[in-house]
Amino acid sequence: MSDFDFDLFVIGGGSGGVRAARIAATHGARVGIAEEYRYGGTCVIRGCVPKKLMVYASRFSEEFEDAAGFGWQVGESSFDWERLIDAKDREIARLEGIYRRNLERSGVELFDTRAVLEDAHTVHLLTDGRRIRAERILIAVGATPNVDATLPGGEHVITSNEVFHLADLPKRVIVAGGGYIAVEFAGIFAGLGAETTLIYRGEEVLRGFDDDLRQVLHEEMEKKGIRVLCGDVFSSIEKTEDGLIGHTRKGEALHADKIMFAIGRRPNTAGLGLEAAGVELASSGAIIVDEASQTNVPSIYAVGDVTDRVNLTPVAIREGHAFADSVYGGKQWSADHSMIPTAVFSQPEIGTVGLTQAEALEKYGAVDVYKAHFRPMKHTLSGRDEKMLMKVLVEPESDKVLGVHILGHDAGELVQVLGIALRMGATKADFDATMAVHPTAAEELVTMREPTERLRA
Ligand SMILES: Cc1cc2nc3c(=O)[nH]c(=O)nc-3n(C[C@H](O)[C@H](O)[C@H](O)COP(=O)(O)OP(=O)(O)OC[C@H]3O[C@@H](n4cnc5c(N)ncnc54)[C@H](O)[C@@H]3O)c2cc1C
């Protein structure tokens, strides 16, 4: 009998930690897990899930408007923020319960406490001071929103941690940031009726995404009445009797009831005892791991956002699963971080997989671009001035599809399926040979015959 309390102790009950704990326990390991806030982690409690529910809520205003073009007369509508938040909270509590029960059913022992490392095998549980000895430790503590600590008045802003619990819907909102969380929340607030501004220090929103998507999203956000200010940043935040004023470097004074910062996230490694255990960190604070998610300390592993590889829920889950199978299930594998399909729940939505045009051109020196920018059928009657963008990038020599980028209704749903095709190495000829589904927007993907551009480096 080993002198360890557990074979595996997991710190963090989010996407990656919960999956790893359950799978390891299923393989027969004695597993404990500590969570300092709520089981389910960022995704379930204050990330993907509540956000998507709020995106749904925010879309109705346009649906009501669009209905008129189809003969509907929709009566006066009103929106009740408190009801939405209550309903969302009930759903999150239900999901949290499922996470807890699933862990318990798998035989995992749950500890509702913050846990910190003391050495390569010891975890200190802060609630009751207990010390746990484990043969292996998995760190899955996720990440936390960045705030600008040097910004005068920065204490008045909120982040995604607070946004899901505001007492009221703010009438005027400013979102600072240009990443996916920033554009998603700008869309949510605008859809719910708030006067919304997005301010971003970079040249264009959604750095790292295909340039056409970025530009078209910017235009579509403006059509929805969102003020999008790129190339500017707050220099101070002033609290007044009337709310907040965000002063910008370019000299604007932007008035708001709430200012939300979505300027990136940093790994949750501060105060975790990693130095004591000798775990190596990158300058970003991320835990450095190898392909097997193992740190430089052989008994300590890390998965998910804390490793800052690809910070998405399905990736954290895959990494946790691979770790548990490899170490406890006798089945060696690791998560593949290439060709990950992903969605941005902006309005309109984005779905993207594979290389951007710039990346494709840099890597292959030649790329054929098939692009369609069109008014979807629904808006012929709704009258809404909103266009859909579809882009297929092809390597001319091999005919291989290198990337697909979509902006428009259900782009996230579409790209899940396209991800399978691209992983299988689909060529443009495969796309062409696939019968169209008519009438859909997606049929554009298989009916674009001639490249709109033939780019050569
Ligand atoms: C607003 C928002 C929207 C998002 N939307 C999407 C999306 O649409 N799609 C998508 O794929 N991803 C999305 N993400 C990202 C996704 O939430 C993360 O990639 C994912 O949750 C990472 O999982 P994880 O296991 O690494 O960490 P987390 O899920 O963050 O879990 C870490 C857990 O560890 C706990 N913890 C931290 N320190 C300790 C400690 N010392 N002791 C005990 N417990 C501790 C935390 O309380 C937390 O519950 C979103 C994130 C945010 C913030």
When pLDDT is averaged across residues 350-378 and rounded to a whole number, the result is 98
What pLDDT digit, counting tens, does each position of 89-135 carry?
Answer: 999 999 999 999 999 999 999 999 999 999 999 999 999 999 999 99
What are 143-196's pLDDT values in tens digits?
A: 999 998 999 999 999 999 999 999 999 999 999 999 999 999 999 999 999 999
Q: pLDDT tens across 309-327, in order?
A: 999 999 999 999 999 999 9
Backbone φ and ψ of 40, nearest 5° = 115, -30
Statement: residue 2 has pLDDT above 80: no
Indicate if the pLDDT at residue 341 is higher than 70: yes
* Mean pLDDT rounded to a whole number for the chain: 97
Q: For residue 1, what pLDDT is reported?
A: 52
Query: Ligand 1 atom 3: the closest Cα is on which residue?
Result: 47
C-alpha 161 to ligand 1 mean position (Å): 11
Ligand 1 proximity of 409 Cβ (cutoff 6 Å): no
Cα of 427 from ligand 1 centre, angstroms: 36
| 3-state class (DSSP) for residue 344 | strand
Ligand 1 pocket, mutate which of 33, 43, 128 (most atoms under 8 A from CB): 43
Ligand 1 centroid to Cα of residue 435, in Å, is 40
What tokens appear for 384 in the block? 């809404």
Q: Which atom of ligand 1 lies closest to the CA of 307?
A: 26
Residues 262-277 have a mean pLDDT of: 97
Q: Could you tell which of 293, 313, 318, 413 is best to mutate to test the pocket of ligand 1, judged by most ligand atoms within 8 Å of the CB?
A: 313
Determine if ligand 1 sits within 6 Å of the CB of residue 316: yes
| Cα gap 207→204, rounded to integer Å | 7
pLDDT of 334 strictly over 90? yes
| Entry pTM | 0.97
Share above pLDDT 70 across residues of the chain, in percent, rounded to a whole number: 100
